[in-house]
Amino acid sequence: MSEHGPNPCGCDHEMVFELADGGLDGADAAPLRAHLERCAECRELYERELELNAYLSSARFPEPSSCSVHRGVAMALPTRPLSARLLWAALAATLLALAFVYLELNGAEPLIVAAGVLAAGWGLVLGSAGVAHTLLAAAGSTILLVLVVGGLADLLIALAFVSVHRRRRAREA
């Protein structure tokens, strides 16, 4: 055993761990086994390590699972053959190339159409905001009154609960 270990007996505990894990062959294990017969601390460490190894080998750990799809479901899904995937990739590349050619031949016309669609969507958003503002302005006082009445009702329910709870504790005491 080495004399530079951080333990009181001066033994090399790494060698004890290696022996318990089965990492030492007969030539290296023989002097260590002889040392274990003499050193109670190393023998106790060796026995604890054997128990730990036995426990870990008998324990069943769950398989790591993916967050998106269970492995069994993913394996049951049919996969497309390579030729079909290549055909889909070729179709996507062709459509992309056609879109670029169309933009090149027709100039800015498609961009003007897209800008018009975006403007219409923005107008819808602004109109909806205006309608919501008008409704809240008209019904604002009513909504405030309903919120205040609801808050008071919640307060009364809480007070009744506390009162009943205190009475029960007073009876139990």
- Mean pLDDT confidence for 18-47: 84
Kindly tell me if the per-residue pLDDT of 108 is higher than 50.
yes
Supply the pLDDT for residue 87.
Answer: 94
Domain ranges of the chain: 13-58, 107-170
Q: How many CA atoms lie within 13 A of 45 on its CB side?
A: 20
Please tell me the distance from the alpha carbon of residue 123 to that of residue 115, in angstroms, as a whole number.
Answer: 12
Are the C-beta atoms of 74 and 66 separated by less than 8 Å? yes
Kindly tell me if the per-residue pLDDT of 167 is higher than 90.
yes
